[in-house]
Amino acid sequence: MPSAHVPVMLDQVVHWLNPHGGMTLVDGTLGGGGHTRALAQRLGPQGLVIALDRDPLAIAAAECELSGLSVTLAHANFCDLPEVLAQLEVPTIDGIVMDLGISSDQLADEERGFSFSSEGPLDLRFDPGRGEPARRLVNRLSVEGLATLIYQYGEERYSRRIARAIVARRRKKPIETAAELAALIRRCVPRSHGGHRIDPATRTFQALRIAVNEELKSLEVALRRVPGCLRPGAPMAIISFHSLEDRRVKEAFRDDPRLRVLTPRPLRPDETETARNPRARSAKLRVAARVASPGSDGA
């Protein structure tokens, strides 16, 4: 099936990466392939987009959807970009985009548990072949362990209340589906806390997803390693969706002597885009460029 995912801040990404001629660009988070397609179409056959994703289903779908474009796909984490480039014998790249959100295709997959209404297994892994599914976490961690995880990765003020409810519930029956967990959380979190914009389960699901995929660890490693892959002047564009990600990107761009910040303040989608694609409303785009002066490649 064609991807249902709408790429976030596409025009801004194209503007900052400025694809032309024989450039080699990287999409570190292929997802539905929207950014990759736009970049490859502008590069033409003389250029190349190297697209990475941890999700094997995203790679498989892109093999069909991006056929005919100058795209090389790699089933890999973006923090492993130096190894991917070495395998492809590509010394440096002319720019990279990393969209840290989940795709509409993942949300729609009933077997993954990303959607709160999913009756399929509560999995939440980007790569189903790696790591521990979320349902195992919620059924084995102590109250303290769950509360800490939900608070640290979800910034959820009701983390302890949710953790106690999860442990009490699983004494009767293990929690197996996203829908079961979401319903439980909604009974713990006052609606006024989330307002009308987000579901009360959002922060807890975010925390579990970050934990099972080690998302913040991968981002921190990538922020150290990816600048060493850029040629001087090449841009590094990152789209984040919550403060835990954005804070790390902001600090890394500011503190890394190999990088020059191009966006002192994060760029946001305009009203037209958020009306068309509500999932873009929390997106923040930051861009930095590799400086010409020599330095450690961080690999």
Cα gap 288→252, rounded to integer Å:
10
Note the pLDDT of residue 197.
64
Instruction: Tell me the C-alpha to C-alpha distance, in Å, between residue 145 and each of 66, 138, 150.
Output: 43, 10, 9
In the chain, the amino acid numbered 87 is Q
Cα gap 217→14, rounded to integer Å:
27
Q: What's the pTM value of the predicted model, to 2 decimals?
A: 0.91
Coarse DSSP helix, strand, coil percentages of the chain, rounded to the nearest 5 percent:
45, 15, 40
Note the pLDDT of residue 1.
53
Phi and psi at 73, nearest 5°, equal: -100, 145
Beta strands in the chain (DSSP E): 24-27, 48-53, 71-75, 96-99, 235-240, 259-261, 284-290
Residue 181 makes CB contacts below 8 A (sequence gap 6+) with: 122, 138, 166, 175, 201, 204, 205
Structure tokens at 228: 């060493």
- Where in the sequence of the chain do the CATH 3.40.50.150 domains occur? 10-105+216-290
Residues, the chain, total? 299
- Where in the sequence of the chain do the CATH 1.10.150.170 domains occur? 108-213
Note the pLDDT of residue 272.
93
Burial of residue 250 (CB within 10 Å: 0-12, 13-18, 19+) is buried
Q: Measured on CA atoms in the order 102, 107, 110, 115, is the torsion positive or negative?
A: positive
Burial of residue 171 (CB within 10 Å: 0-12, 13-18, 19+) is exposed
**Which residue ranges of the chain lie beneath pLDDT 50?**
193-196, 295-296, 298-299
For the chain, the first-to-last Cα distance in angstroms comes to 38
Other CB atoms within a 10 A radius of the CB of residue 58 amount to 26
Tell the CATH topology of 10-105+216-290. Rossmann fold (3.40.50)
pLDDT digits (tens, 9 = 90+) for 216-236: 999 999 999 999 999 999 999
Instruction: Tell me whether strands 71-75 and 24-27 are parallel, antiparallel or unpaired.
Output: unpaired
Note the pLDDT of residue 3.
54
Give the full edge-to-edge strand order of the sheet including 259-261: 71-75, 48-53, 24-27, 96-99, 235-240, 284-290, 259-261
Q: Which CATH superfamily is domain 108-213 in?
A: Putative methyltransferase TM0872, insert domain (1.10.150.170)
pLDDT digits (tens, 9 = 90+) for 188-199: 988 764 444 688
Cβ atoms of residues 93 and 232 within 8 Å: no
